[in-house]
């Protein structure tokens, strides 16, 4: 028996003893799969695609499912009613975050991660500042940045059509770097893009549920990095350097540009101009936190959503053709779609909603944690319980969304082809819940709208062709991880016409 195993057993026993307090109030725990002595449901917890297993449990046990992970209580919510009962009606109890040992304490993300910050005054300050920069009323000034990078994406697809996935990844990174720091990156191998994308890879891997034993047993954080089996410590040391680069290097570049009188408009530059000399150190920390949260919250989900769009169009050419007909009628052939067109594009808007619902790129919301003992629907919820919104199940509910496995944008339209108001908007689950709902959702929505509209207006996305000359049938196969992405497909990306080619070249030339 190794020292790590022995330590884990000690933690199991201690946690089990403390978990017995869930019976003190005489209330039952929510229903869920029966566990084993000491370890509870630890062996039941899936290593990958957790939301699919959770969906099966919801069908068996209901919309509130309880697990005991070696003494750590976990509650999984599978309906809007359940998430409302916890995150809205009792937001004062369920707005905390669990202790993320790997990403926060070992990798060093804790001081800057608004999304994983513990609930309290420090989080409120960061949230308030972030909201000031990203609420719906301040999005229009960012439109020129969105246009610039949407148009560059079209040019990149024109010159390198086989690199669709890489172009979408680069565009998402470039939009954040440009908006937040005024750093205009063009090349995919730009050092700022490399820094940011490496840090994003770290975040996605580090927060993957069940990826690191230390998140379940925090005492393991004290195991030295040289100890056999402590690869997680060695990873954390390497990853910490990536995170520091993402937080510091773009910020220092903006600060240096301002001192040299060559800074361009950006969120960071504006915030730096407003810094008080009496509170310079704290103000700079806030700016770095907003920058780090902007990238972590926006870049990966934006690129993943646009990849889902490419998959959906290749699988459903009739949807693509209908959207293109709408764009042709509203926008015409002589210009690219813009934000003023959006109210007149109900089918394009329906596609955006269905992208969010069909394959939600964040199928499990960032976990909440109970700040105190509580009772919900007659169930006892102990202090420290991790409460998880299963967005996948909510957005795949066959009652609210008939034929949930099918990509059907028309489900969000009325008979007269206007946007329906009686179909639940996917935002009820796609952007988190309660007080911890994603504050950058309006930024993300506007950016993705323009990317999708511009690609539809100018390109056809089709499946690859097999050796027999017929299109290869593709399916909605997704990668495992905290953020879902479609499996790699070598799409055929072709301009819709010579006029589309001329329009793209003309547009980029005038930028």
Domains of the chain and any CATH numbers: 3-509 (1.10.630.10)
Strand pairing report for 379-381 and 72-77: unpaired
| pLDDT tens by residue, 457-510 | 999 999 999 988 889 999 998 887 778 889 889 999 999 999 999 999 998 766
Looking at the chain, how many residues does it have?
Answer: 511
Is residue 12 pLDDT above 70, yes or no? no
Which residues neighbour 67 within 8 Å (Cβ) at sequence distance 6 or greater? 32, 33, 35, 40, 41, 44, 45, 73, 74, 75, 76
pLDDT at residue number 510: 64
Nearest to 93 by CA among 387, 431, 394, 432: 387
Q: Can you tell me the mean pLDDT for 276-295?
A: 85
Nearest to 171 by CA among 281, 303, 65: 303
| pLDDT tens by residue, 309-330 | 999 999 999 999 999 999 999 9
Average pLDDT, the chain: 89
Local structure of 250: helix, strand or coil: helix
Strand pairing report for 374-376 and 379-381: antiparallel
Terminal Cα-to-Cα distance of the chain (whole angstroms): 65
pLDDT at residue number 25: 60
| pLDDT tens by residue, 22-35 | 445 689 999 999 99
Q: In 230-359, which ranges are continuous DSSP H helix?
A: 231-259, 267-273, 280-315, 317-330, 346-358
Q: Rounded to an integer, what distance in angstroms lies between the CA atom of residue 355 and that of residue 335?
A: 25
Q: Rounded to an integer, what distance in angstroms lies between the CA atom of residue 368 and that of residue 488?
A: 32
| pLDDT tens by residue, 359-388 | 999 999 989 999 999 999 999 999 999 999
| pLDDT tens by residue, 196-206 | 777 777 777 77
Q: In 331-389, which ranges are continuous DSSP H helix?
A: 346-358
Longest dimension (CA), the chain: 73
Strand pairing report for 368-369 and 72-77: unpaired
Local structure of 183: helix, strand or coil: coil
Is residue 1 pLDDT above 70, yes or no? no
Is residue 261 pLDDT above 90, yes or no? no
Q: Rounded to an integer, what distance in angstroms lies between the CA atom of residue 114 and that of residue 126?
A: 6
pLDDT at residue number 187: 80
pLDDT at residue number 90: 97
pLDDT at residue number 50: 93
Nearest to 171 by CA among 195, 145, 191: 145
Q: How confident is the model at residue 17 (pLDDT cuts 50, 70, 90)?
A: very low
Bind-site residues: 438
Q: Rounded to an integer, what distance in angstroms lies between the CA atom of residue 65 and that of residue 58?
A: 7
Segment holding 509, helix H or strand E: helix 498-509
Bind-site residues for heme: 438
Is residue 275 pLDDT above 90, yes or no? no
Nearest to 223 by CA among 208, 213, 238: 213
Q: Retrieve residue 27's tokens.
A: 């209330």
Local structure of residue 488 (DSSP, 8 states):
P
Buried b (16+ CB within 10 A) or exposed e, 193-228: bebbbebbebbbbbbbbebbebbbbeebeebeeeee
Q: Rounded to an integer, what distance in angstroms lies between the CA atom of residue 314 and that of residue 461?
A: 5
Is residue 164 pLDDT above 60, yes or no? yes
Q: Rounded to an integer, what distance in angstroms lies between the CA atom of residue 416 and that of residue 226?
A: 67
100 neighbors 205 (Cβ within 8 angstroms):
no
pLDDT at residue number 211: 76
Segment holding 495, helix H or strand E: strand 492-495
| pLDDT tens by residue, 400-424 | 999 999 999 999 999 999 999 999 9
Q: Rounded to an integer, what distance in angstroms lies between the CA atom of residue 28 and that of residue 380?
A: 6
Segment holding 180, helix H or strand E: helix 164-181
pLDDT at residue number 263: 80
pLDDT at residue number 280: 86
Q: Rounded to an integer, what distance in angstroms lies between the CA atom of residue 224 and that of residue 227?
A: 6
| pLDDT tens by residue, 207-249 | 776 678 888 788 899 999 989 888 999 999 988 888 888 888 9
pLDDT over 90 percentage in the chain: 62
CA-based torsion, 66, 68, 71, 74: positive or negative: negative
Local structure of residue 64 (DSSP, 8 states):
E
pLDDT over 70 percentage in the chain: 93
Q: Can you tell me the mean pLDDT for 93-122?
A: 85
pLDDT at residue number 15: 47
| pLDDT tens by residue, 32-85 | 999 999 889 989 999 889 999 999 999 999 999 999 988 889 999 999 999 999
Q: Rounded to an integer, what distance in angstroms lies between the CA atom of residue 171 and that of residue 169?
A: 6
pLDDT at residue number 360: 94
Strand pairing report for 72-77 and 386-389: parallel
Nearest to 388 by CA among 423, 436, 442: 436
Q: Retrieve residue 12's tokens.
A: 């199991």
Residue 194, by phi and psi: left (phi above 0), alpha (psi -120 to 50) or beta?
alpha
């Amino acid at each position: 028996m190794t020292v790590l195993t022995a330590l884990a057993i000690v933690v199991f026993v201690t946690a089990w003893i403390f978990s017995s307090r869930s019976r003190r109030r005489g209330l039952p725990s929510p229903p869920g799969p029966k566990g084993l002595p000491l370890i509870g449901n630890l062996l039941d917890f899936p290593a990958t695609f957790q939301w699919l297993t959770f969906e099966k449990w919801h069908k068996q046990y209901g919309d509130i499912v309880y697990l005991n992970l070696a003494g750590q209580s976990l509650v999984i919510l599978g309906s809007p009613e359940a998430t409302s009962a916890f995150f809205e009606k009792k937001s004062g109890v369920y707005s905390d975050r669990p202790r993320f040992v790997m990403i926060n304490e070992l990798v060093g993300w804790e001081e800057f991660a608004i999304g994983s910050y513990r609930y309290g005054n420090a989080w409120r300050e960061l949230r308030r500042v972030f909201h000031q920069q990203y609420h719906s009323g301040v999005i229009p000034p960012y439109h020129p940045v969105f246009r610039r990078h949407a148009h560059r994406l079209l040019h990149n697809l024109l010159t390198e059509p086989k690199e669709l996935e890489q172009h979408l990844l680069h565009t998402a990174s470039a939009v954040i770097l440009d908006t937040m720091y005024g750093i205009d990156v063009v090349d995919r191998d730009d050092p700022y893009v490399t820094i940011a994308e490496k840090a994003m890879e770290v975040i996605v891997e580090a927060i993957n549920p069940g990826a690191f034993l230390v998140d379940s047993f925090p005492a393991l954080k004290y195991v030295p990095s040289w100890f056999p089996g402590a690869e997680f410590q060695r990873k954390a040391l390497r990853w910490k350097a990536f995170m520091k680069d993402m937080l510091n290097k773009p910020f220092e570049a903006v600060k240096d540009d301002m001192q040299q009188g060559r800074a361009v408009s950006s969120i960071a530059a504006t915030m730096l101009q407003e810094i008080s000399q009496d509170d310079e150190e704290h103000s700079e920390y806030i700016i770095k936190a907003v920058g780090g949260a902007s990238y972590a919250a926006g870049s990966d989900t934006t690129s993943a959503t646009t990849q889902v769009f490419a998959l959906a169009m290749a699988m459903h050419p009739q949807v693509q053709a209908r959207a293109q007909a709408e764009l042709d009628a509203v926008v015409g052939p002589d210009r690219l779609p813009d934000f003023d067109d959006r109210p007149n594009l109900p089918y394009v808007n329906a596609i955006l909603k269905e992208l969010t619902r069909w394959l939600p790129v964040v199928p499990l919301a960032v976990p909440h944690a109970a700040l105190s003992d509580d009772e919900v629907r007659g169930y006892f919820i102990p202090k420290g319980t991790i409460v998880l919104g299963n967005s996948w199940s909510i957005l795949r509910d066959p009652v609210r969304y008939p034929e949930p496995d099918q990509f059907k944008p028309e489900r969000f339209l009325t008979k007269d082809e206007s946007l329906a108001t009686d179909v639940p908007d996917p935002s009820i689950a796609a952007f988190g819940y309660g007080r911890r709902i994603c504050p950058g959702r309006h930024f993300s929505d506007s950016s993705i709208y323009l990317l999708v509209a511009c690609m539809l207006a100018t390109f056809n996305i089709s499946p690859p062709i097999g050796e027999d000359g017929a299109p290869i049938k593709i399916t909605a196969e997704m990668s495992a991880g905290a953020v879902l992405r479609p499996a790699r497909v070598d799409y055929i990306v072709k301009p819709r016409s010579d006029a589309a080619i001329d329009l793209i070249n003309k547009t980029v030339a005038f930028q």
